[in-house]
Every structure is written in C-alpha cells, then in structure tokens.
Amino acid sequence: MLLNILENFESYVKDPLNPETRKARKSLLVFSFVTIIIVITGLVPEKIESMGIEFSKTDQHNMLLLLGFLIIYFLISFIVYGFADLIRLKVNIIKNFKQDLKDKYEEAERELSIKEKEYPLGTYLDVGANISIIKHHVDALYKSQKGFKSFIRIRVFLDIVLPVLISVFAAILVFIK
C-alpha cells in the first residue's frame, strides 16, 4: 500500500507541462520581462549603430506595441497548451485516485474476509462494523491525498498562473503607456 502511495506521489510530482508548453511559457516570460523592463525604465533604443538604424518616437512606440502583441500571442498559445496539460494532469489524478480507491476497497474486503473466518457461520454480520472498516480505509486514502492536492495547487500556481499574471501585467503596461 505504501509503495502504491509513493508511486502515485511520483506521478503527481513529475512535470505536468509538456515541452511545447514549456517553450511557450519561456517565450512568454522572456518577452514579458523584457517589456516590463523597457516600459518601467524607459530604455527604448533610439538607434542601433551597428545596423545604422534610428528610431523616432513613433517607431519606439510601435516597437512597444509590437512587444505587447507578441506577449498576447504567446499568452494565448501558453493558455491553450497549459489548459491541455491541466486536463491531462486532472485525468491522471482521477485515474490514480480510482486505482487507490480500488486498492483500499480490496484491502477492506480482505480484512472483512479475515473477520468472517474469526466468526464462522455468519455470526459476524454486523453491517455497521463492516461499513466502519471500509470507511476507515477510504478515510485513510483521502488523508493521503490531501498533501498531494496542496502540492499540485502550488505547482499549478508557479507553472501556469504566475506566468499568466506576469504577462498580463506586461501587456497592460504596454497598452496604457
């Protein structure tokens, strides 16, 4: 049973994001942080001497708008990929929980069959006791899942919600300036 819980914990802690989602998140965060730095510090390049390019105020503003639209593009792609990964994660969690519940039920059945051997001829037909044995096993399963759920919430916040918040902040900075 402990081995099963540890195997399920491993499935919870493995990376919930596939490589495409990670690439989209990386691009989103890079463009978001660059944009935040440019907008807050006002460090919009006026010219690139090595290429002989000079930017007017309008060009600088257009460059910021371009960064804003790039952020929106990467935000949408990240949300689409991230949503698919969250669905996959939820399906895996449900699948693991169902397996754990089945294992707990089988464990409760074994315990009940031992009790029936201790009390032959059907004298151990106390339904309340049988229910309490099953309830004990299911309660133990729910308690073991609480830590996993907290871990998953933290992981989802750091991997998905925080990058979205940062990019929304960057886009707002661009479009209100």
Q: By the 8 A CB rule, do 35 and 174 touch?
A: yes
Average pLDDT over residues 140-169: 83
Over residues 33-68, the pLDDT tens digits come to 999 999 999 887 777 677 777 777 777 788 889 999
Q: Crossing angle, helix 57-118 and helix 127-156, to 10 degrees?
A: 160
Confidence of residue 99 (pLDDT cuts 50, 70, 90): confident
SS3 54: strand
Q: By the 8 A CB rule, do 91 and 10 touch?
A: no
70: its two tokens: 């790039």
Domain boundaries, the chain: 2-176
Number of C-alpha atoms within 13 angstroms, CB side, residue 119?
10
Whether the model clears a pTM of 0.75, i.e. scores above it, the answer is: no
101: its two tokens: 């519940």
Average pLDDT, whole number, for the chain? Answer: 79
Residue 176 to residues 22, 38, 39, 61, 173: CA-CA distances in angstroms? Answer: 29, 14, 10, 12, 6
Query: Which sign does the torsion angle of CA 132, 135, 141, 147 carry?
Result: negative
2 or 108: which carries more pLDDT confidence?
Answer: 108
Over residues 117-151, the pLDDT tens digits come to 555 555 455 555 666 666 766 676 667 666 677 78
